[in-house]
Structure 1
Amino acid sequence: MNSFDTAIETFLTKLSFGFVFNHAIKALTDLYTFKGLVLIPVLWWIWFQPGERRERQREMVIATIVSSLLALATGRLLADLLPFRVRPLYDPNLHLHFASGSLPDAMLPTWSSFPSDHAMLWMSVAAGIFIVWRRVGVLALLYTAIFICVPRAYLGFHYPTDLLAGAAIGIAITYVMTRDSVRTRYATQSLRWIERYPGPSSMLAFVLCLELITQFDELRKLVSSISKHL
């Protein structure tokens, strides 16, 4: 572990806020309510916002959703391709005691810590909100940093560099995918299809947003369970 990660993780483990605070931090990291269920509804708000720029705003929502899917897929791909990095909580060489105690998900110890898919996904969504609405977007970026990223370092789920790299990649993906020259290649036609078939598109949008909020956790667990028995 580099000196930057060492200094921050050591500092965080020395902080003592008591049982109630630690329990609240665990709730922030465990519950979908405090992650996607905060940010995804903002995209729906943008979608139904009236005005002259309505079509562009809807294209930006489509581009943000596509970016978030790419960010999540990229995070998994990088974690598989790059050298495996043990999560701080499971690294005995650190000799650090985190407030989390242990991770509830048995799959996580086998997943590389770098980069953070949480940071990549939700920074991607927050960046999309920021591009459309600056003031709300600033709040979305701050919320993601403070309530999604920092707790994961505090509990030993990720190193700070995991989170910084994930955030940077997620923001970069959204920035590229929302550029006019790129966005119009797919979002414009997608919007036409949505307007032509509102029933099926609304159903698919609901399912897709639900899966994003849960980060496809149940599907990933299902695939992992099936693969173990094949």
Structure 2
Amino acid sequence: MSISSLDSSSIAELSAFLGGNGIGNKLFRLLIYNVGENPLLRGVPIFFPLLLLWFGNASAERRSRILTGLLATCAAVGISVSMQYLVPVHTRPVLDPALSLQMATQQWDHDSSFPSDTAMLYFALSTTIFLLNRRAGIAVFLWSLLSAGLCRVALGWHYPSDIFGSLVIAPAVVLLFDKTAMIRGKIQALLESSQNRMAVINAVLALFIAEAYNLFPGLRSLVETLVRIIRKNFDLPG
């Protein structure tokens, strides 16, 4: 069976179960809509341990790894948004009339869904946490698979392959940044020279958390503008 067939059959089965009237179906709907679409329920299990790791240990080495991971997260989300615009793989399942999904719809500014930028964000942050605390990292990875993975597939925003793509790309980007001595070294040197200006660093962290909590509206807008410029100058479709 092809990946496309597996995607379609998985979506169809989840949609049918989501639209059922049994107690199990109703509990599943309650879980999917609240965990998948509520930013507080979805985000706190990820951002809370991240902040604990930041404020729980003030060493420049540990904080440099966190900042390196956050920089890699921005890069991973940028890659995801760019791929959705420039390398469309398939249309979002909820927008495919052939699937006839039993799901709520919303407005989208683009049709392509591969890879999932939400899953990319959550898997990148989970990898960052895992590099610092394995137990917490495993826990947040499992939460990310549920909240940014299963829930968004069940809602029809993504196919399973979109989530799998993010699961491969996001950790790879974070690990690449973490293992690049120049990047971590520069960030650690910056932290060590900024001990008297940590309020500025903390303010930057707060801005990142605010952007990430809302799925990077500012970063996405910048990437979308860049993509439009590229399309206009290189005569690309879309």
TM-score range, shorter chain: 0.7 to 0.9
Matched residue of 1:86: which SS?
coil
Q: Deviations over 1:171-209 (max 9, x none)?
A: 111111111525434321332354231222222221121
How big is the shift at 1:18? 3.3
| C-alpha distance in structure 1 between counterparts of 2:194 and 2:41, whole Å | 29
Matched-pair contact (CA < 8 Å) for 1:120–1:168: no
CA 1:182 to 1:38, structure 2 compared with 1: closer, same or farther past 3 Å? farther
In structure 2, the residue matched to 1:71 is 76
Q: Which residue of 2 aligns with 1:13?
A: 15
Q: After alignment, is 11-20 or 167-176 more displaced?
A: 11-20
TM (norm. structure 2) is 0.81
Closer/same/farther in 2, CA of residues 11 and 109 from structure 1, 3 Å limit: farther
Structure 2: stretches of 5+ with no match in the other structure: 225-238
The alignment's C-alpha RMSD in Å is 2.5
Contact 2:68 2:184 in 1 (8 A): no
> Can you list the C-alpha shifts for 1:90-112, whole angstroms capped at 9, x where unaligned?
10122x323x3212xx2x26242
User: Is the Cα contact below 8 Å between 2:126 and 2:137 reproduced in 1?
Assistant: yes
Displacement after TM superposition at 1:2 (Å): 1.2
User: Residue 114 of structure 1 aligns with which residue?
Assistant: 114
The one-letter code of the counterpart of 1:92 is P
Identity %: 23
CA distance in 2, matches of 1:126, 1:49: 17
The structural deviation recorded for 1:49 is 2.5
Partner of 1:146: 146
CA distance in 2, matches of 1:167, 1:174: 11
Match of 1:102 among 84, 94, 105: 105
Deviates more, 1:135-144 or 1:204-213: 204-213
Task: After superposition, give the CA deviation of every residue in 1:17-61 in whole Å (9 maximum; x if it has no partner).
Answer: 33453143112222211233321221211122248xx33221111
- Equivalent-residue separation in structure 1 for 2:196 and 2:111 (angstroms): 41
Instruction: Provide the secondary structure at the position in 2 that maps to 1:171.
Output: helix
1:87–1:109 CA contact under 8 A, matched in 2: no
In structure 1, give the amino acid aligned to 2:45. V
Deviations 1:123-173 (Å, cap 9, x if unpaired)?
Answer: 000011111111111101111001221001111110000111012111111
For the pair 1:59 / 2:61, whether they are aligned, the reply is no
Range 160-169 or range 11-20, more displaced: 11-20
* DSSP 3-state at the match of 1:85: coil
2:51 aligns with 44
Aligned with 1:88 (options 87, 90, 93): 93
Stretches of structure 1 lacking an aligned partner (at least 5 in a row)? 225-230
Q: Residue 201 in 1 paired to residue 204 in 2?
A: no
Within 1, Cα distance between the matches of 2:223 and 2:126? 28
Q: 1:69 to 1:220 in 2, by over 3 A?
A: closer
* Residue identity opposite 2:16 in structure 1: K
User: Does residue 162 in structure 1 map to residue 165 in structure 2?
Assistant: no
1:26 paired to 2:10: no
Tell me how far apart the structure 1 counterparts of residues 182 and 219 of structure 2 sit (CA, whole Å): 30
